[in-house]
Amino acid sequence: MELDARQRAMLEEMGIRVWTPMASAPADETALAKSSLRPSDGSRARVAAPSSPVERPVRAPVPMAAPAVPVGVTAPRALPTDIAAMDWDDLEAVVAGCQACGLCKSRKNTVFGVGHRQARWLIVGEAPGENEDLQGEPFVGQAGKLLDNMLKALGLARGADDAARAVYIANVLKCRPPGNRNPAPEEVLQCEPYLRRQVALLQPRIILAMGRFAVQSLLQHSLPDVATMPLGRLRGQVHSYEGVPVVVSYHPAYLLRTPQDKAKAWDDLCLAQSLMFDAGTS
């Protein structure tokens, strides 16, 4: 079957090799072929197809449009402007796709928060660690077990159906800083509107801020120099975030490393619970 150049090119693209007579041969080889194949009677001979494939035609390269963002790099995008009007499901969906800071590049999962959405207690931690990033849930692993035990001592549980016994747990940052490094101030700033909306939706009676970055994020407006204040100096007082009482305590991961401070953390829990008693809601 005779194939034209276009058909041969298509078959080559599909991975089908096309064997056709050579278009030309060097002068000496042509002469050799002619002499060896010419019949002795001088008649014209039928020439068998040579066994070498035809070279693919060289096509001029087609210029490709350069991508706006290099492959593997995600450009930061602005936060939505209507966060303050979102309900829980919309907010969670927006966080799941958020690319407002560089942490979106290395996260495996966003860690939105977990618990009863009408809980009276809000526990605020700092940022997801490795296990949280893998599971998409805050306070898992050993630190999470310690937190669960602390809550249990108060008659609370993260999985409780009863709003009076339930807690909601969230972090200041919804994505893990690589290598568990400290959150950068600009990352906290970018992510803070999500926590603010969670507080507005939950309307908790008490916020327990656990760890330095949680405290700094929640109290930065009421205490402008909070970043320079040791956490120990902020304990034992009742602070405020968006009108909600805030009690400051140590992060459970710190307590695992510094068990001698667990007694102080218990004092903090008792202070928080006393506020609930005073409000007549515990």
* Rg, Å, the chain Cα set: 35
Indicate whether 104 belongs to the interface with ligand SF4 (CB under 6 A).
Answer: yes
How far, rounded to the nearest angstrom, does the alpha carbon of residue 7 sit from its chain's CA centroid?
48
Q: How far is the CB of 112 from ligand SF4 (least distance, A)?
A: 9
Name the residue nearer to ligand SF4 (CB basis): 170 or 255. Answer: 170
Indicate whether 199 belongs to the interface with ligand SF4 (CB under 6 A).
Answer: no
Indicate whether 273 belongs to the interface with ligand SF4 (CB under 6 A).
Answer: no
Indicate whether 98 belongs to the interface with ligand SF4 (CB under 6 A).
Answer: yes
- As given in the structure block, the two tokens for residue 189 are 């700033």
CB 236 within 8 A of CB 250: no
**Interface residue with ligand SF4, options 171, 190, 249, 273 (CB under 6 A):** 190
- Please choose, out of 80-88, 99-107, 142-150, 225-233, the segment that lies near ligand SF4 by the rule CB under 6 A: 99-107
- As given in the structure block, the two tokens for residue 74 are 């995600």
- As given in the structure block, the two tokens for residue 99 are 């690319």
CB 62 within 8 A of CB 141: no
In a 13 Å sphere around the CA of 8, the CA atoms on its Cβ side amount to: 14
Name the residue nearer to ligand SF4 (CB basis): 111 or 154. Answer: 111
Name the residue nearer to ligand SF4 (CB basis): 174 or 197. Answer: 174
Of 148-177, binders to ligand SF4 (CB under 6 A) are 173-175
Name the residue nearer to ligand SF4 (CB basis): 103 or 140. Answer: 103
In a 13 Å sphere around the CA of 135, the CA atoms on its Cβ side amount to: 13
- Please choose, out of 12-20, 21-29, 83-91, 92-100, the segment that lies near ligand SF4 by the rule CB under 6 A: 92-100
Amino acid at 4: D
Q: How far is the CB of 151 from ligand SF4 (least distance, A)?
A: 25
Q: How far is the CB of 191 from ligand SF4 (least distance, A)?
A: 3
Q: Give the C-alpha separation, 68 to 52, whole Å.
A: 44
Name the residue nearer to ligand SF4 (CB basis): 163 or 201. Answer: 201
Q: How far is the CB of 79 from ligand SF4 (least distance, A)?
A: 7
In a 13 Å sphere around the CA of 144, the CA atoms on its Cβ side amount to: 18
Kindly state the number of chain residues that form the binding site for ligand SF4, as judged by CB under 6 A.
14
Q: How far is the CB of 278 from ligand SF4 (least distance, A)?
A: 34
> How are strands ordered across the β-sheet holding 114-115?
114-115, 167-171, 121-125, 206-210, 244-249, 239-241
Name the residue nearer to ligand SF4 (CB basis): 5 or 69. Answer: 69
Picking from 237, 223, 22, 217, the residue whose alpha carbon sits closest to that of residue 126 is 217
Name the residue nearer to ligand SF4 (CB basis): 132 or 187. Answer: 187
Picking from 168, 256, 172, 230, the residue whose alpha carbon sits closest to that of residue 204 is 168
Task: Using CB under 6 A, list all residues that contact ligand SF4.
Answer: 95, 98-101, 103-104, 110, 173-175, 187, 190-191
